[in-house]
Amino acid sequence: MRINRADPLEAFIDESLRQFAARHYSPKEFIRMRAQYGTVTTIEKLVKSGEIQSGFYRLQQLHLLERSMEAAVQQFPDRFTKDAIQCAQWRLDNAADQTLRT
């Protein structure tokens, strides 16, 4: 899928990926899905899934939750469904809850 690099959401994600790489983290599944489905669809699928992905916890460890998919949803709410916005906010609100980890 073609990505419009001038789009502010796409630019946010691209910059996030650069920052992740600088910290030696590569979210391979997100990158694969983004290429296949596009950014918005991928983020929607992942934030609405029943489990919190390991990448979310990795970003928390790296102190980069402000660059997470969940943060992107909060920063660009007009691009996402109400359900995705609520799921993303729930994850961010509960990031420190150790009982939610699998």
pLDDT tens sequence across 25-69: 999 999 999 999 999 999 999 999 877 778 888 999 999 999 999
Does residue 75 lie within any of the structural domains? Answer: yes
pLDDT in tens, 4-25: 768 999 999 999 999 999 999 9
**Cα angle 83, 86, 92; round to 5:** 140
Does residue 2 lie within any of the structural domains? Answer: no
For residue 46, which of 26, 24, 63, 29 has the smallest C-alpha distance? 29
Domain that holds residue 50: 8-94
pTM here?
Answer: 0.88
Q: Give the integer Cα–Cα distance in Å for 24 and 71.
A: 20
Instruction: Count other C-beta atoms under 10 Å from residue 16's C-beta.
Output: 20
Per this entry, what is the length of the chain?
102
Is residue 39 within 8 Å of 30, Cβ to Cβ?
Answer: no
Q: What's the structural domain count of the chain?
A: 1
